[in-house]
Structure 1
Amino acid sequence: MERHRVTGRLIKLFITGDDPRSLRTVELDNWWGMAVMGRRSYFKKALARDELSRSCIYLLIRSAGGDDLPEVYVGESDDFVQRYAASPFPIPFDSFVVFTNKDDNLTRAHVKWLEREVWELLSQNEGKVRIANRSTPTGSKLPEAETASMGTFLGNMIYVLEALGFAFFEEPGASLVAPTDVPVAPAQPPVAQSFFASAQPRSETHKAYLDMIGDGYVLRAGSLISPTTTDSLPANVGKLREQLAGENALVPQDGCLRLTKDISFTSPSPASALVKGRSSTGHGDWIRITDRKRLGDVLRERDVLGEGAVPLRSAGP
């Protein structure tokens, strides 16, 4: 009889108190790293832990409301306790995640390398997160073998963050962690559905294009963006727009601005807000190209019929 092989990974989450929201430690099977995480109110309790006197990389996270993006500060330290025992925080934050190791083999050079890599990954996801760091981390140059080891450490960090609900790195429909040595049948890639919205009111030519892939969205390069904004534009979408302009990713074209690279979003509303230069309900403003259905109707239909289902057509008289 053929036996089915079970795949997966084990995450150990230890809550350090009776309150389920208290400080937590997180470990992943077959990994020498670990994380300490919690809400802002448990920060002082975290500083009392011996693990945080070691070299570490950390994220300070400020959540957002409405269409605004979460803000993340990425830092590193050879002694997190000394760094924050009496120092001001670089940003106001709601929660924190500190990654260190169990055997004290993580060095300052390692965490500086990790800091730069995490910063660069976050900078590629402008539609999902805003980076609070004022300057680019310096990073460090590691020998080839240690670079490979830190690449594995980084993959496990991202795996833990995604498993805990921090979707800062996720690509729509893609896996972030290299497959294990257990053979697994390849998954079918999610089917993309394409939508459009107008950058100019009632314009049929000044269009932006959005692909819905699984639960994620990608605003495609070549999309046209409104050249002007209103006061209703969400603050973090406005900052994203400024960042794109600073990168020369918005170039003038036909009275609009043309986007020169793809941008991933977790919600359709900030994507349409970027396109229109104002607050926007993405569920109402994105129109499916194939049948001109609004995105909100498509999502409701999907919830009823299931992913990938085709709606039944009513029979004729």
Structure 2
Amino acid sequence: MTFRPQTIQIFLPSGDPRGIRVAEITTRIVQAIDVPRSRISEFLEMRESERLSLYILVGEADDGSGNLAYIGQSGDLRKRLAAHNNEKDFWQRALVLSTRTESLTQTHALFLENLLIQEAKNAGRYRTDNCNGGTRPHAPAPLAADCLEIFDTGRTLVASLGVPLFERLGNRESVEKAQALLFCKRSNTAASGYYTDEGFVVLRGSIGKAEIGKGFQSHSFARLRDELLQQKKISIQDGVLVFDQDVLFTSPSGASAVVCGTACNGWLDWKDQRGITLHELKRKDEIDQAARILRAAA
């Protein structure tokens, strides 16, 4: 996906930044409304709740297996959200996608519901609570093009509101092409990954240690490792730890700790194919540049 500069406006109907937030790209008609579950009754009094809309319920699975999302569409959003509020326990936020011009038709909504479900599954960041993939209706080319443009705007707005539901972590081919692949090759490990704006991604197929050190058992990264095992993102196979899917960590050290089964410094453990550490690749130049700026300003 190619990114370009964009301006997003966020409106706070109640003035509370923790309450309902309405986001839109200033030159487009699509809106994303972020509704905390505790504010559902407040949203149902807003005119926006009367529109034919797509909606996404997000939260954490009750069994601790990670982020969960339910995607739907409705011409009677008030009734549907009220029902979900009574029947579904996992969700904490509802994100509502609609247009300011109220130009969505039922065909738009069905097409987009199917597209959102498939794109969420392809991204793999959240498990979807939908029993099926929705029904994609036959759509003439102009309507399909409208839906793709609505989705493109909607995914940007949803991610900007803190829910990167449709954003893929990337793949080995694109990372290798950019020559950004990094490796952690301690004893009995063979892991690869790459550094991103969100943290560090360890790629599917990476190998780590099945056993963890005694001093590591009470560490927060050991608890993270247990959570990933429970979520089936990693597994123990033939005496080694295997990454069954790409896994995003908030820090390079968390990534290397799970791989190595001990507390360690990921900035030094992750190295490119020339043996240059992540610290030298990313932090050293930035630290040196900041020092130069401070000296020049003194």
Q: Does the pair score TM above 0.5?
A: yes
> Over residues 168-208 of structure 1, what are the superposed CA-to-partner deviations in whole Å (9 max), with x where a residue is unaligned?
3334689xxxxxxxxxxxxxx9761512255xxx32xx412
> Over residues 96-127 of structure 1, what are the superposed CA-to-partner deviations in whole Å (9 max), with x where a residue is unaligned?
2111122333233322332332222222333x
Equivalent position of 1:142 in the other structure: 138
For residues 52 and 264 of structure 2, the distance between their equivalents in structure 1, rounded to whole angstroms, comes to 44
User: Does 1:168 pair with 2:151?
Assistant: no
Equivalent position of 1:192 in the other structure: 180
User: Does 1:152 pair with 2:152?
Assistant: no
CA contact (8 A) 1:223 1:258 kept: yes
Letter in 2 for 1:113: F
Matches within 5 A, 1:47-86: 47-62=44-59, 69-86=66-83
Which moves more between the two structures, 11-20 or 165-174? Answer: 165-174
CA contact (8 A) 1:56 1:80 kept: yes
Q: CA deviation at 1:45?
A: 0.6
For residues 42 and 122 of structure 2, the distance between their equivalents in structure 1, rounded to whole angstroms, comes to 33
User: Does 1:291 pair with 2:289?
Assistant: no
Q: CA deviation at 1:157?
A: 0.3
* Correspondence for 2:7 among 4, 7, 10: 10
CA contact (8 A) 1:173 1:216 kept: no
For residues 110 and 32 of structure 1, the distance between their equivalents in structure 2, rounded to whole angstroms, comes to 14
Distance 1:232 1:111, change over 3 A: same
CA contact (8 A) 1:57 1:99 kept: yes
Which moves more between the two structures, 219-228 or 209-218? Answer: 219-228
> Over residues 143-167 of structure 1, what are the superposed CA-to-partner deviations in whole Å (9 max), with x where a residue is unaligned?
2322211111000001112333333
Equivalent position of 1:207 in the other structure: 190
| TM-score of the two chains, using structure 1 as the length reference | 0.66
User: Does 1:28 pair with 2:25?
Assistant: yes
CA RMSD, aligned part only?
4.1
CA contact (8 A) 1:233 1:273 kept: no
For residues 279 and 158 of structure 1, the distance between their equivalents in structure 2, rounded to whole angstroms, comes to 37
The structure with the largest helix share of the pair is 2
* Correspondence for 1:103 among 101, 104, 118: 101
Letter in 2 for 1:97: L
For residues 268 and 130 of structure 2, the distance between their equivalents in structure 1, rounded to whole angstroms, comes to 34
Fraction of identical pairs, as percent: 20
CA contact (8 A) 1:110 1:140 kept: no
Gaps of 5+ in 2: 172-176, 291-298
User: Does 1:19 pair with 2:16?
Assistant: yes
Q: CA deviation at 1:219?
A: 2.9
> Over residues 120-141 of structure 1, what are the superposed CA-to-partner deviations in whole Å (9 max), with x where a residue is unaligned?
2222333xx3224152322312
Q: CA deviation at 1:73?
A: 2.8
Distance 1:212 1:10, change over 3 A: closer
For residues 114 and 89 of structure 1, the distance between their equivalents in structure 2, rounded to whole angstroms, comes to 24
Residue correspondences, number: 268
* Correspondence for 1:241 among 227, 232, 255: 232
Q: CA deviation at 1:11?
A: 2.4
2:123 is paired with a residue whose SS is coil
Letter in 1 for 2:90: P
Distance 1:196 1:279, change over 3 A: closer
For residues 171 and 84 of structure 1, the distance between their equivalents in structure 2, rounded to whole angstroms, comes to 28
* Correspondence for 2:110 among 112, 116, 127: 112
